[in-house]
Structure 1
Amino acid sequence: MPHLYGKKVMLREYRDSDFEHIRAWVNNPKITRNLSDIFLYPHSAEQTRRFMERASSGELKGFVVARADTGEYLGQIDFTRLDLKNGCGELGMVIGSEANHGKGYGTEALGLFLDFAFFELRLNRVELLCWPFNTRARRLYEKMGFVLEGVRRQKRFRGGTYHDELCYGLLKEEWEQRRRQQPQSET
């Protein structure tokens, strides 16, 4: 698997040493409250091992987000669904420690991932789902050019309340236009 390098992060393969880092966030409600419903119940160490086995085998399509200088685990960015026939992928990402939020790691990782998706995999579309209350993620996605395409009203129940689910999409032509208009260092 290739390593993709930016200034702050690299996207790399999953390693056995990532296990403890993943275990540190996978049951942390401050992190998982913004993620999908697969984190509704506590995750066991065995579930994390099975996830890592699937990732290491190549069954899952994605990368660890790691520090460019040390290779230390910061988070993950993966395709939760990948349809190569129709040129579409749905992404999910997490920076697993609150101490690493707001430092530009997610922005750079997402830019590297989108370049890979559009220029290596030749996808035409990347999409994602997001909660309205996840304002940090929404700002990132919109900054990177994702367009809010729809709202699934009261689709998700979290914290005693029904919430909308926001559907975002980005087309290859939109990403190419954005890349032409902005210097490489901004992604």
Structure 2
Amino acid sequence: MSRLLGGRIMLREYRKDDLPWIRKWVNDPNIVEHLSDIFLYPHAEQSTEAFLDAMLAGDEDSRGFVIADLRTEAYIGQINLDSIDWKNRVGKVGIVIGSTDDFGQGYGTEAMRLLVDFAFLEMNLNRLELEVYEFNERAIRSYVSSGFREEGRLRERFYKKGRYVDVVQMGVLKSDWKAARQG
């Protein structure tokens, strides 16, 4: 898979030497509080290695990228298309920025825009979707600026820090993306 180049970042292939960078965030509560319940419990190094090995091996129904600095190729985070439904041309997006020092820098928005362009132009997908917790306002703003719209809510679907919160379902269609590019 080719690399996708942006203004400050690139989306590149996973590498074995990404393991220490992934290990830095995978058990960091400041990072994983915004992610799915698979991060509810500490992840052993073997679990992280198994994930990385799966990304290196590739899977017909997913495409994954490391978000990296454009000049140095240093790991910033990762963005993946999972559960690709080839018949209906739909992919589910997941993204993580691996250090709180890189939050608010626009890396996630740039990565999302690169992935959306790639998914619609090169993969010929028709729809991208994702889920985000209602308290992750920074992510929601980023997704909206990348063309996603709120399509629904799963009310009180997620239990976090002693309370139930909504899961926001968001999506972007190829037709909306095309219209935005032309406008």
The verdict on a shared fold, with TM-score over 0.5 as the criterion, is yes
Residue of structure 2 in register with 1:68 after alignment: 70
Residue of structure 1 in register with 2:53 after alignment: 53
2:115 is the counterpart of 1:152:
no
Residue of structure 1 in register with 2:19 after alignment: 19
RMSD: 0.9
Q: Structure 2: how far apart are the matches of 1:166 and 1:156?
A: 10
Listed as ranges, the matches of 1:103-142 within 5 Å are 103-142=105-144
The percentage of aligned residue pairs carrying the same residue is 46
Give the AA of the match of 1:115: D
Q: What is the TM-score of this pair, normalised by structure 1?
A: 0.94
Structure 1 unaligned blocks of 5 or more: 182-187
Q: What is the TM-score of this pair, normalised by structure 2?
A: 0.96
Residue of structure 1 in register with 2:44 after alignment: 44
Q: Secondary structure at the match of 1:41?
A: coil
Give the AA of the match of 1:144: S
Note the alpha carbon deviations across 1:72-96, whole angstroms, 9 max, x for none: 0000000132111101011000111
**Comparing 120-129 and 155-164, the one that deviates more:** 155-164
Q: How big is the shift at 1:104?
A: 1.5
Q: Structure 1: how far apart are the matches of 2:128 and 2:140?
A: 15
Give the AA of the match of 1:147: R
Listed as ranges, the matches of 1:162-177 within 5 Å are 162-177=164-179
Give the AA of the match of 2:21: H
Structure 1 segments, 4+ long, off by >3 Å, are none
Q: Structure 2: how far apart are the matches of 1:147 and 1:14?
A: 29
Q: Secondary structure at the match of 1:69?
A: coil
